[in-house]
Amino acid sequence: MINFNKILETNQILLRPLKQGDYDILKKISGDTGLWTYFTNDLSDQDELKKWIETGVKETKIKKRLVFLIVDKQTNSIAGSTSIGNISERDKRVEIGWTWLGREFQGKGINDAVKYLLLKYCFDELNCERVEFKTDILNKPARNALKRIGAVEEGVLRSHTLMTHKRRRDTIYYSILRHEWKEIQMKNNFLGKWDLIPDKSEYERGIPPLKATYEFIKGKNNGFDVFINWMDEEGKEFEVEYQTVPDGQRKKYENPQVADEVMSEFESEFILNSYTFKDGEVIAFASRIIESEGKMKVIQRFFTAGGKHFDNIQYYQKAVL
């Protein structure tokens, strides 16, 4: 069930419910008449903007549609609005849409960040089976953006919606299904880049790095290629590269007993890789990655030749791009 007081947040953006008092700040970014060619209201008109806000606040209050204000955290500025609507709890289906951004906030990746954040909420918290989108068939930028995040084009409803200037649009529908979500996360580099939070990290063995960055990109067999850039206490940088192993797959170890022990310790998606310190003590390690609310926890478990193990726990936050 949707929480209509929900606030969603990453390092880049914050989404919070629209309020009646948001008129003055929205007026500053909605005055460009060119923004509303593909919108159902011309919000450059102040009376239209007031009505639009009243409708959004009312529909959020009666739990018909959750209307968000988009905050660009890099500039601490209001960037626009988006919504979750056409909610069907029985069918586990919602629509993401009603999205617009002020001109100065376009082309900065905010739209994609908003879509990914809402998709994550819809699939991972609301357990939706389907998330749908619709737009004007003439709105090529919006259509390209939907294709870019992995939405599947479904079909066109002719003469479907009355637009500004009395034009009737043909509406094109897109959707993402639950089983497609995991692949889309990987394909669109959803995990992206993460920066170490040194003060929270715990090291049972070894000296913690001054900084570290994890970067995930699409890899083979529906996994990730992982690149880690470390800087040690002397300021020397070095890189590590390996692959995630999803869906119960694992790489072969020379010592299968150690690999089986790793498998039993990490039951969800994890990274496995053989590893050797210069003294030869460690023969294998596994990392479990847990992402939640804009933070990432990495548990590194090192297995020694003597059958013992030790853990390093690191915390990361989403890198600001």
Whether 154 and 37 map to the same domain: the answer is: yes
Domain hosting residue 207, numbered range: 193-318
Q: One digit per residue, pLDDT tens: the chain, 321 residues?
A: 899 999 999 878 999 999 999 999 999 999 999 999 999 999 999 999 999 999 999 999 999 999 999 999 989 999 999 999 999 999 999 999 999 999 999 988 889 889 989 999 999 899 999 999 999 999 999 998 898 888 999 999 999 999 988 899 999 999 999 988 877 765 555 556 777 887 777 777 666 667 777 776 655 555 556 667 777 666 667 666 655 544 344 444 444 454 455 445 544 444 555 555 545 565 566 666 666 666 778 777 776 666 677 777 888 887 754
User: What tokens were used for 174?
Assistant: 């897109």
Give residue 129's identity as a one-letter amino acid code: E
CATH number for position 314 = 2.40.128.20
Domain assignment present for residue 105? The answer is yes
Q: What is the pLDDT of residue 170?
A: 97
pLDDT on residue 312: 79
Same domain, 295 and 312: yes
In a domain, 1, yes or no: no
Q: How far is residue 129's CA from residue 248's CA, in Å, rounded to a whole number?
A: 23
| Domain co-membership, 212 together with 178 | no
Smallest Cα–Cα separation from 147: which of 187, 107, 114?
A: 187
Task: Decide: helix, strand or coil at residue 124.
Answer: helix
Residues 112 and 226 in one domain: no
| Residue 174 β-bridge partners | 133, 153
Residue finishing a domain among 187, 203, 220: 187
Which CATH number goes with the domain that contains 59?
Answer: 3.40.630.30
Distant-in-sequence contacts of 75-81, Cβ < 8 A, 24+ apart: 77/105, 78/22, 78/25, 78/26, 78/28, 78/29, 78/102, 79/13, 79/29, 79/105, 79/110, 80/29, 80/105, 80/110, 81/18, 81/26, 81/56
Q: How far apart are the C-alpha atoms of 106 and 320, rounded to whole Å? A: 17
pTM, two decimals, is: 0.63
Same domain, 292 and 164: no
**DSSP E strands, 34-76:** 66-72
Give Cα separations from 59 to 52, 87, 99, 223, 293 (angstroms). Answer: 11, 12, 16, 41, 26
Whether 101 and 125 map to the same domain: the answer is: yes
